Amino acid sequence: MDYTYLFKNNEGKKSKIGIIGATRGYGYTLLAQIPKVEHLTLRLISSRNAEQCVAVLKELGYDENLIMVCESKSEIMNAPEEAIIVTTDYRLTVESDINSLVECTGNTAVSSDIAIAAINRGINVYMVSKETDSICGPYLNQLAAEKGVVYSLVNGDQPRNLIDLYSWARILGLEIIAAGKSSEYDFVWDPDSGNLTYLGKTENMPDMKSCWRYEGPGTLDARRRLLENYTEVVSADLCEMNLVSNITGLVPASPRLNYPIAKVSELADIFIPAEDGGILTGQGVVDVFYNLRAPDEASFAGGVFIIVKCENEKVWELLKDKGHLVSRNGKYACMYLPYHYMGLETPVSIILGDFLGIGTHPECRQVSVLTGVAERDLPKGTVLKVEGHHHTIDGLIPELLVCSDQTKNVVPFYLLNGLALTRDVKEGETITLDTVDISKCRPYKYYAESLNI
């Protein structure tokens, strides 16, 4: 796609952006990029700490003289046109003259509340908070379509990047067997020293040599045994695949996904049907892998991939000769994007939405639901809390389930934050409506409505 051609006749139009939850992580990378994009201008940021907001803006080179802290509707409405508004009350965001809102808080109550308010005001919404979209994405997509505004996931995070790759393949008429991503961090094994490094920790692991070369599913079993102390089911990974599932219709490969430990060069031999030597028991699925590589090999960088069926032997033999990833049996190929550049990519999504109306998926449905299963016996009164880099809940293992009559009573994983168990829950039991009091959890009603879309 020639983006410069798409936007060359915009007559100097700029999108006025508001960002909620903007001082760290994803929001920080977006703030850093906005001044470099001629079609965007930062109008407002909201965070609980105004001083921190101001400090971040100054650190990134924004003009200190234009920064204006506002704590009331009247102050925001009377702010000079060139001012960069800072507010600690997210609800005031929609009182400004922004035309696009980027939501980065990860707080399901805040982000669903402000997204609905923005959509109802005619403001386009760009959702970074995957936790919220996993709960009420179908509702928000439909509401935006009804109101004639854009609701969109963003490039720079894996779900939108994977959905774009998936749609590109569909346009080309390719049959998609599987779609997925690598988990966030690589296993790096040095064949010379025998050392394995993961998340900054190093362990001598000479036995990896025996399963370094892929010889079939048995190789994956051997790698898993060696690395079982490092692997886990990551709620953030399952959440991202939940978003992709709801828009594409692809279903989870298994409730906890497969997580093979694999090199990029092996993907076309792994994420294929079991009868062809792979690990899949079905087709049209989403899945995740742990990337394994040598120190001198490039990372997959939490990137995304699709597995497609090779329908013309001569075509794919030609492509294989050019270095593309084709399975050993010649039946399948892997196409991939080894990156997700966070806020550096997000401006593309905003411009596509604000200028061309691209983003809303009214066909989005609750195809799958992310929920939690007790990892151990949990007594009544246990408070469930989302915490840590991977947004986990202590005591729960995340599972991604295909929506059915049997899942109507399960509680979405990220609605559980801050809730206390109303009864004892046994190990292996799924958290359902009768185990927590969901009555005061506002986003649940949007999830319930999503089930009926």
The CATH number covering residue 131 comes to 3.40.50.720
Helix axes 25-33, 346-356, angle to 10 degrees: 70
Contact 346, 370 (CB under 8 A): no
pLDDT in tens, 233-252: 999 999 999 999 999 999 99
Are 199 and 306 found together in one domain? yes
pLDDT at residue 4, rounded to an integer: 81
CA quadruple 267, 268, 270, 272: dihedral sign? positive
Are 45 and 187 found together in one domain? no
Are 151 and 164 found together in one domain? no
Are 109 and 176 found together in one domain? no
Phi, psi of 177 (to 5 degrees): -85, -40
Instruction: Using 50 as the pLDDT threshold, list the residues of the chain that sit under it.
Output: none
Last residue of a domain, one of 321, 356, 391: 356
pLDDT at residue 22, rounded to an integer: 79
pLDDT at residue 317, rounded to an integer: 97
CA quadruple 181, 316, 218, 251: dihedral sign? positive
pLDDT in tens, 412-448: 999 999 999 999 999 999 999 999 999 989 899 999 9
Domain that holds residue 98: 3-155+343-356
Are 178 and 302 found together in one domain? yes
In a domain, 218, yes or no: yes
* CA atoms of 230 and 213, how far apart (whole Å): 20
Are 323 and 236 found together in one domain? yes
pLDDT at residue 108, rounded to an integer: 94
Are 376 and 435 found together in one domain? yes
Number of domains in the chain: 3
Global pTM? Answer: 0.96
In a domain, 83, yes or no: yes
Are 98 and 28 found together in one domain? yes
CA quadruple 441, 443, 449, 453: dihedral sign? negative
Are 151 and 27 found together in one domain? yes
Contact 410, 369 (CB under 8 A): yes
Q: What does the block give as tokens for 331?
A: 């039946």
Which is nearest to 426 in space by CA: 438, 417, 435, 413?
Answer: 435
- 3-state SS class at 368: strand
pLDDT at residue 374, rounded to an integer: 98
* CA atoms of 439 and 61, how far apart (whole Å): 45
Q: Assign residue 357 a region: left if phi > 0, alpha if psi is -120 to 50, beta otherwise? A: left
Last residue of a domain, one of 304, 321, 356: 356
Are 52 and 119 found together in one domain? yes
pLDDT at residue 388, rounded to an integer: 83
Phi, psi of 444 (to 5 degrees): -60, -35
* CA atoms of 111 and 378, how far apart (whole Å): 29
